[in-house]
Amino acid sequence: MATSNGSRKKGSSTAERVLGYLESARNLTGSAAALGGLLLTFAGFAGAYWPVVVGGLYGAGALLAPPRRPPAPAFEEPSSRLDELRADLATLRAYLKEVDLPSAAAERLEALAGLLDGLLAPGWVSEALAEDPEGVHVVARAVRRDVPESVDAYLRTRWWTRLAPGGRAPEEELERQVALLHGEAQTLVDGLREAEELRQRSHTRYLEDRGDTGGVRAETGRAETGRPPEP
């Protein structure tokens, strides 16, 4: 029974993928180009090689078609609340899973998303972040604007480079942008860690100073009374 259900789900998924391709811009553009090849065949230009012409035109049209570009997430009015930022980060990560990205850029984006997720995860790190308005702004800007705009710009630019090759590859531009964003987030993490370490050292010095003061008072009490001070 479970096998039957699994088979039906697998078959349904395959049918959805096939239907999705049939409705895609690649197939529609390739089909239009192939139709043009058939018209050339009927006009007598293709001759005996018409299957090659039609197939070649379909493939060229499919390659030149604008790639599927899911709309970038549109976030609500900026908010500094960390719970809303967590929800927006989850939306961003779902968007990144939908888009077609080169492996190197996808890995860098996943590393950046993991770093942002660590900053926002409930715990002492997010508590330290909440006390740093500038740090919250850095995270919010990365999640709600910088990453979505970088990815969307790459998806748009990639298609134009197919029509007019040359210049810097859009993949390299995207990787450079993500590297800069990762560096900014890492700087924020390092700053929060250093602040916590400084706070810990300050507390240690406070305890040491308090201990030294208690020792001085004890010695003073013994000198004045000739006996240890009352506890």
169-208 pLDDT, tens digit each: 888 899 999 999 999 999 999 998 887 777 778 888 888 8
Where residue 85 falls among pLDDT bands split at 50, 70, 90? very high
In Å, what is the CA distance from 2 to each residue of 7, 9, 10, 39, 151? 9, 11, 12, 50, 40
Nearest-angstrom CA–CA distance, 187 and 179: 12
Where residue 231 falls among pLDDT bands split at 50, 70, 90? very low
Please, what is the average pLDDT of the chain? 77
Where residue 149 falls among pLDDT bands split at 50, 70, 90? very high
pLDDT digits (tens, 9 = 90+) for 37-84: 677 677 776 667 677 777 777 777 666 666 667 888 888 767 788 999
- Tell me which of 15-24, 80-89, 110-119, 194-203 is least confident: 15-24
Say yes or no to pLDDT of 215 above 70.
no
Q: Are the beta carbons of 109 and 179 closer than 8 angstroms?
A: no
Helix-strand-coil split of the chain, %, nearest 5: 80, 0, 20
Q: Are the beta carbons of 86 and 120 closer than 8 angstroms?
A: yes
Q: Any idea what DSSP says for residue 150?
A: H
Nearest-angstrom CA–CA distance, 18 and 31: 15
